[in-house]
Amino acid sequence: MTLPNYTDLAPSILRQRLVVEGYPAKPISDGAIRRYLSQLSDITAMRSLIEPVTHKSDLYGWAGWIHWETSGAHFYAWEQPSLFFSVDIYTCKQFDPKLVVDFTRSFFQTTEITARDFSSAPPTKSAAQLAVAPVIKYTLSDPELDALSVRLLSEQPPRTRDALVLYRLEGHDELSNLGRHIERQVFEEKFANTDADMRRIYGSHESVSAFYVVMDQSIRRPVGCMRIMRHSAAGLLSLQEAQQFAGVTEEDFKKYYGISNLETVWDIGTIAIPEQYRGRDEHHIVVMLYRGGHLRGHYEGVTHYIALVDKDLRRIFNMMGWPFYAMAGSKPFEYEGSGDTLAVCGIAKDFFPCMEARICTADERIKPIVQYFAQRFVHGHDIDHRIMFEHSLWPDGTTPLTRTKPMAREARL
């Protein structure tokens, strides 16, 4: 049968289609497909209407779909006759194919990958500009800081009149330099780190970083930041440093926590609040970052958090009841200007119940502080309406239905 020559019947309607195919490093599970499609929404800047849906063919393997306001994406995974996947993205909103391919390559650690663009029209100038990776900057001039702050608040206008609002910015987005600027500012103050130091520490992890940034819309300035790093071919930074300085290998970590792969592990790289914003609003900024990050982690199926923390932060964790413990029983070490750094790991499902339990055991002198954090971190009081990105709650709206205790073998920090 001969098909008629293709004619664009609706040239005024943008349609962009990209097919990405490749050989993954290992079989692809339904959970991996859901996480991939969820993160793909951020990479392409699409608004999700539903959480990703998956289903399995007994003959071939898993498939998945996500519905965006501007179309959607299908995912197909084969295990027979070979490990293979195919992603079909169809949208009526422009996105950057190169970012999608780079993200897909990193997410599945492909041995080979290919892509074909079936867009209904040749790329426009703006599309070509989108393909240029933004410049990563750790220090912004005042005009640059002003411009990015105004741009963020205008492109993603707050849904509340409250001054403090929380955004989530992917590391490939130029707006994420707002978070990097705060990181460098605080690291310079505390450890005398320079731009070169920041690039040395985080450079190979920038493509898989996401920044949670608290903006004060009354002054149009970022006032707090948390960096989260996902697993990639570059590894997890905290786990790499734990191996170098504390002797905890990747296999030790997996065995100790019963983890088969690292896709569900998030590395908390930074919590930073500039000196001028510490004081009256500091506690609220901190709990906004933790609450927003934890809800997003639940949305993406995260099971464990890891981090490198100094003794001051460990003291706060202990006081609040946050279940971070020495990674695989490791000991503190000297790291990047801190003489007492510890690699820690926390199990995501333990955070809410452990913090609520802490209210009952806290000394009367600190109980009001613990209650303040629990109301906001666990129950979202005066927090959730400030979150400007997609996330998900537990079945009862706040805390898990099944409350678990931290592992008895763990020692307090």
Q: What is the pLDDT of residue 1?
A: 62
Q: Determine the pLDDT at residue 93.
A: 87
Complete DSSP assignment for 63-82: EEEEEETTEEEEEEEE-SSS
Please report the pLDDT score of residue 218 as a whole number.
94
Q: Which residues in the chain come in under a pLDDT of 50?
A: 121-132, 396-397, 399-413
Rounded distance between C-alpha atoms, residue 120 and residue 17, angstroms: 8
- Rounded Cα–Cα distance for residues 330 and 341 (Å): 11
Q: Are 77 and 62 in contact (CB under 8 A)?
A: yes
Say if CB 406 and CB 347 are below 8 A apart: yes
Query: Domain residue spans in the chain?
Result: 16-130, 142-386
In this structure, the dihedral spanned by the alpha carbons of residues 285, 325, 300 and 170, taken in order and rounded to 10 degrees, is 50
Residue 173 has a pLDDT of: 86
In the numeric block, which tokens belong to residue 204? 């190979």
Q: Residue 104 to residues 22, 43, 98: CA-CA distances in angstroms?
A: 9, 10, 10
The CATH number for 16-130, chosen from 3.60.90.10, 1.10.10.10, 3.30.365.10, 3.40.640.10, is 3.60.90.10
CATH of region 142-386: 3.40.630.30
Place of tokens 């929404």: 41
Residues paired with residue 170 on neighbouring β-strands, in sequence order: 210
pTM above 0.75, yes or no: no
DSSP annotation of 48? B
Q: How far apart, in whole angstroms, are the C-alpha atoms of residue 193 and residue 139? A: 12
